[in-house]
């Protein structure tokens, strides 16, 4: 068989130059089509990001252009105030008078970022009740996840024997693989009763940020520990050996040498954890409460740190989005566009944190390679 082919080839080669196989680079249509298809697959991710930015941006613009948000009608003349506000004519009005449009958006942004009342029903759009709740639950989660996660990472990377590590790591992975809605159930039916028993039924409300925050910390714990552990075990062994050689104990080596050497990786883990906590939805939607913790004025909000009481219910940004969109909302209403404004803020916050963590990881990579 083989010899036959070679014979044919030889015969062909010998016949004329015209029938000789052309070994030069040939355009292959199939290959090019495939490459283009694969490129498009890659580009889909860009499209996704563009889609997110476009959608969030467009609806947020509509939200901020709406005179109801700030209560001041700059874009619309008072005569037109009563006219029905459809999306199209709002956009058109804005295009027609860019200056007024910018002013309108500006005043809306000021109300948005300075208000302490979020009540879409009466057109009060101050984002602080939602943001403060997000920060509160995230802080509680971090208080749980960061120390525990770091200590777990140190134990697993520096102390645990191979056998212990091979038992504990999968358990933590299981914890990371459980759907968040299950954690929400856990927070509401386990953590809340526990907190109520410890601190008293009158102090701890059924829906409270403490319970949601603690359980969120447990959810994030495996993320922190595994990322930190990766950073710790990437520290070259020579550093450990050197520390031992100088007479340091295991603890001293871990705390004074290994952790500082891996600090950028650990910080990256922390930053990713914070971003995860801010975007976490189901736990707070189930356990933190349904209704923003509103105040009339800043003084009211600051009084006895009422904004920060962890044992009271509060609605976070994500919790609010889920609750409102879970009901029937009609497109183009302020209810609808306000969600996208919150979503845009959420997206920007997590995006910033993710960039920060990537920068930290890059720095960390360069150190030992």
Partner 1 sequence: MATAKKPQEFYPEGDALIGYVEQRKRRGLVWRSIFLCATLIGVISLIALLYNIINSAFGFVALQNEIDPAALVLSVEEDRMLAAPNLISSEDDEELATGVIDNPFAIGFFGYAYYQEHAADLHILTIDGIEPTAANVESGDYPLARPLYFYTDADRLADKPAVAAFVQFYLDNVTAVIEDVGYFPASENALESDRNTLARALGDTDSADAVAEDLLIAGSSTVYLLSTVIADLFRETGFTGNIEVQSVGSTAGLAHFCSRNSAVDIANASRDITRGEVEACRDAKREPLEFQVGTDALAIVVNRGNTFAQNITLDELRMVFTDAELWSDVNAEWPAEPIVRYIPGIDSGTLDFFAEEVFQRSLGELPKQTLIDILAANVSTGLMRRFENDQPFAERTQENVYELVLERVVEPTVVATWTLRDSIFRRAEIEAFIQDVPNGSLDFRSWLTWNFVTSPQSSTPEDAGIRTAILGSLWVILITLLVSLPLGVGAAIYLEEYAEKSWFNQLIDTNINNLAGVPSIIYGMLGLAIFVRVMEPLTSGTFFGVGDPTTANGRTVLSAGLTLALLILPLIIINAREAIRAVPSSLRQASYGLGATKWQTIWNHVLPTALPGILTGNILAMSRAIGETAPLVVIGASTFIVVDPSNPFAKFTTLPIQIYQWTARPQDEFRNIAAAAIIALLVLLLTLNASAVLLRNRYSTRI
The owner of tokens 């990786």 is 265
Q: Which stretch binds partner 1 (CB under 8 A): 13-21, 65-73, 102-110, 218-226?
A: 218-226
Q: What's the DSSP call for residue 258?
A: I
Between 116 and 184, whose beta carbon lies closer to partner 1?
Answer: 184
- Nearest CA to 70 out of 127, 24, 13 is that of 127
- Please tell me whether residue 354 binds partner 1 under the rule CB under 8 A: yes
Q: How far is the CB of 154 from partner 1 (least distance, A)?
A: 5
- Please tell me whether residue 135 binds partner 1 under the rule CB under 8 A: no
- Please tell me whether residue 321 binds partner 1 under the rule CB under 8 A: yes
Q: How far is the CB of 73 from partner 1 (least distance, A)?
A: 27
Q: Which of residues 164-183 bind partner 1 (CB under 8 A)?
A: 168, 171-172, 174-175, 177-183
- Please tell me whether residue 348 binds partner 1 under the rule CB under 8 A: no
- Please tell me whether residue 185 binds partner 1 under the rule CB under 8 A: yes
Q: How far is the first Cα of the chain from the last one, in angstroms, to the nearest whole number?
A: 52
- Please tell me whether residue 113 binds partner 1 under the rule CB under 8 A: no
Q: How far is the CB of 304 from partner 1 (least distance, A)?
A: 30
Q: Which distant-in-sequence residues (6+ apart) come within 8 Å of 115 by Cβ?
A: 124, 125, 126, 127, 128
- Please tell me whether residue 52 binds partner 1 under the rule CB under 8 A: yes
Are 113 and 129 in contact, with CB atoms under 8 Å apart?
A: no
Q: Which stretch binds partner 1 (CB under 8 A): 81-89, 99-107, 254-262, 303-311?
A: 254-262
Out of 9, 77, 297, 325, the only residue in the binding site for partner 1 (CB under 8 A) is 325
- Nearest CA to 216 out of 286, 304, 160 is that of 286
Size of the site for partner 1 (CB under 8 A): 89
**How many CA atoms, within 13 angstroms, populate the side-chain half-sphere of residue 132?**
26
- Please tell me whether residue 151 binds partner 1 under the rule CB under 8 A: yes
Phi, psi of 315 (to 5 degrees): -110, 125
Out of 221, 231, 266, 301, the only residue in the binding site for partner 1 (CB under 8 A) is 221
Out of 20, 51, 200, 296, the only residue in the binding site for partner 1 (CB under 8 A) is 51
Give CA separation, 206 vs 183, 196, 197, 308, in Å. Answer: 16, 8, 11, 17
Out of 5, 16, 27, 30, the only residue in the binding site for partner 1 (CB under 8 A) is 30
Between CA 335 and CA 63 the distance in angstroms is 9
Phi, psi of 118 (to 5 degrees): -120, 95
Between 13 and 55, whose beta carbon lies closer to partner 1?
Answer: 55
Q: Which of residues 266-305 bind partner 1 (CB under 8 A)?
A: 272, 275-276, 278-282, 285-286
Rg (Cα) of the chain, in Å, rounded? 29
């Amino acid at each position: 068989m083989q010899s036959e082919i070679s014979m044919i080839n030889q015969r062909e080669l010998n016949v004329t130059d015209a029938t000789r196989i052309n070994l030069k680079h040939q355009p292959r249509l199939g290959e090019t089509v495939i490459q283009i298809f694969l490129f498009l697959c890659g580009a889909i991710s860009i499209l996704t990001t563009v889609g997110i930015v476009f959608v969030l941006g467009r609806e947020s613009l509509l939200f901020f252009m709406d005179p109801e948000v700030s209560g001041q009608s700059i874009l619309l003349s008072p005569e037109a105030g009563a006219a029905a506000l459809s999306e199209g004519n709002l956009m058109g009005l804005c295009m027609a008078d860019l200056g007024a449009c910018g002013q309108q958006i500006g005043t809306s942004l000021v109300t948005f970022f300075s208000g302490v009342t979020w009540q879409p029903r009466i057109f009060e759009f101050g984002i602080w009740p939602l943001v403060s709740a997000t920060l509160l639950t995230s802080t509680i989660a971090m208080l749980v996840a960061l120390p525990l996660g770091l200590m777990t990472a140190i134990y697993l990377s520096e102390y645990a024997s191979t056998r212990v590590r091979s038992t504990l790591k999968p358990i933590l992975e299981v914890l990371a693989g459980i759907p968040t809605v299950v954690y929400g159930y856990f927070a509401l039916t386990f953590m809340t009763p526990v907190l109520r028993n410890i601190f008293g039924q009158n102090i701890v409300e059924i829906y409270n940020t403490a319970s949601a925050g603690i359980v969120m910390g447990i959810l994030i714990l495996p993320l922190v520990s595994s990322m930190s552990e990766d950073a710790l075990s990437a520290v070259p062994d020579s550093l450990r050996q050197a520390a031992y050689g100088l007479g340091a104990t295991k603890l001293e080596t871990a705390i004074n040498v290994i952790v500082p050497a891996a600090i950028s990786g650990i910080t990256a883990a922390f930053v990713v954890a914070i971003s995860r906590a801010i975007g976490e939805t189901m736990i707070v939607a189930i356990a933190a409460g349904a209704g923003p913790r509103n105040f009339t004025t800043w003084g009211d909000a600051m009084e006895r740190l009422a904004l920060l009481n962890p044992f009271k219910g509060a609605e976070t940004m994500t919790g609010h989005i889920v609750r409102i969109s879970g009901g029937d909302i009609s497109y183009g209403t302020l209810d609808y566009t306000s969600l996208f404004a919150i979503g845009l803020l959420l997206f920007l916050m997590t995006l910033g944190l993710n960039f920060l963590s990537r920068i930290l990881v890059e720095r960390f990579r360069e150190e030992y390679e």
